Structure 1
Amino acid sequence: MFTGLIEEVGILRKAARSGEAMELEISASVVLGDLKIGDSVSVNGVCLTATKIGERSFTVDVMPQTYRHSNLSELQSGSPLNLERAMAAGGRFGGHIVQGHVDGTGRIARITRDQNAIVYEIIPDDDALFKYLVPRGSVTIDGISLTVALLHETSFAVSIIPHTLEATALRGKRAGNTVNIECDVLGKYVEHLLFFNRDNREPQSPNQLDLNFLAEHGFS
């Protein structure tokens, strides 16, 4: 589990591709402090496992599933990467619950300034993500814990303070670039609990939500 507070920006040293599988060697310093083989690291918001550790870099594997559903497939040598080690049990929880399980990608539609903040408007590639996006709720963009500032019909916006922009790889993103999106896990659990059908193990349609359904499940 992660918090969405980026520890450092690493640099992709090498990307070895084999079809839709990848091995990434990433230059870093802070996250190498106590990193061990088998530890989880959030790379641009994707939970990956350290397979090799050197003096100034570490290596992770990217599976085809991750390749297809994240922006890691677009990486080139020299790409900056947001890095965060898994949260320590006794650490401060400064962001929100981040699993590193990317729900999809989105495109930066525009970047504007609002006094001391920078506003990024993002269009998700999958409209299904909108049901998990709540105004002033949490969302993770490339591993960064952010707040949904505005929610439009086809896009949403996050407002970023100068410190976050300076301390993350987001500062290098431009309109048209792709970002990883992870929605708040709490909404996904609520949806599953409300609409789960024991008979076929598939979520029921939200259209079946009525007073009888709520009463049957203890909401009276």
Structure 2
Amino acid sequence: MFTGIVEEIGVVRHVTTTASGARLEISSTRVAPDLGIDSSVNVAGACLTVIERDDHHFAVDLVRETLAKTTLGRAIRGTRVNLERAATPTTALGGHFVQGHVDATTKLAARKEEGGGAARLRFALPAALARYVVPKGFVTIDGVSLTIAALGKSSFEIAL
């Protein structure tokens, strides 16, 4: 379980194809030191299990389902990924409960700058998921907890 509050932006060091999918090695100076073997870690929104680690890197395995349903299927050396350690009973809940079980990826349909660094982003809403998305509800995009600012039949918007 996670909160959707990114702790660090890690960098993919290496991608290896495996019999069951892929292995990612990720550079991390803030999150990695607190991880143990078999720890859960949120990488770009997906809950993954640490299989190797040291104080500056960790490795996770991705099965084909994860590669197909997340942006991690397109990760290459140098890809930046949002990272978050698993929540504990004392973790501040600044976002929302995030399981890290990714349902789909979507496309950014439009970006409207609103001045002062603010922007509204409109994303395509997959029809199969539309019934789960509600006004002022939450979505997680690449591991970031975001509130639905507007909802249409085939799209939703977030405000940054």
Shorter-chain TM range is over 0.9
Contact 1:12–1:80, Cα closer than 8 Å, also in 2: yes
Structure 2 unaligned segments of length 5 or more: list them.
Answer: none
Contact 2:33–2:55, Cα closer than 8 Å, also in 1: no
Contact 1:148–1:157, Cα closer than 8 Å, also in 2: yes
Structure 2 counterpart of 1:71: 71
Structure 2 counterpart of 1:119: 120
- The equivalences for 1:97-176 within 5 A come to 97-116=97-116, 117-124=118-125, 126-160=126-160
**How many residue pairs get matched?**
159
Aligned-partner SS, 1:106: coil
- How many angstroms does 1:110 deviate by? 1.6
- The equivalences for 1:6-25 within 5 A come to 6-18=6-18, 21-25=21-25
* Distance in 2 (alpha carbons) for counterparts of 1:75 and 1:19: 17
* Distance in 1 (alpha carbons) for counterparts of 2:73 and 2:19: 11
RMSD: 1.3
Aligned-partner SS, 1:65: helix
Which is higher, the Rg of structure 1 or of structure 2?
Answer: 1
Structure 1 counterpart of 2:52: 52
Q: Which has the higher strand share?
A: 2
Structure 2 counterpart of 1:30: 30
Deviations 1:132-169 (A, max 9, x none): 11111111111100000111221111111xxxxxxxxx
- Relative contact order (alpha carbons < 8 A, sep ≥ 6): 1 or 2 greater? 2
Deviations 1:1-55 (A, max 9, x none): 0000000100000011136601000000110231111100000000000100023
* Distance in 2 (alpha carbons) for counterparts of 1:110 and 1:17: 34
Deviations 1:42-73 (A, max 9, x none): 00000000100023110000011111211111
* Distance in 2 (alpha carbons) for counterparts of 1:62 and 1:127: 26
The one-letter amino acid paired with 1:152 is: G
Contact 2:33–2:54, Cα closer than 8 Å, also in 1: no
Deviations 1:169-220 (A, max 9, x none): xxxxxxxxxxxxxxxxxxxxxxxxxxxxxxxxxxxxxxxxxxxxxxxxxxxx
* Distance in 1 (alpha carbons) for counterparts of 2:148 and 2:19: 35
* Distance in 1 (alpha carbons) for counterparts of 2:78 and 2:65: 23
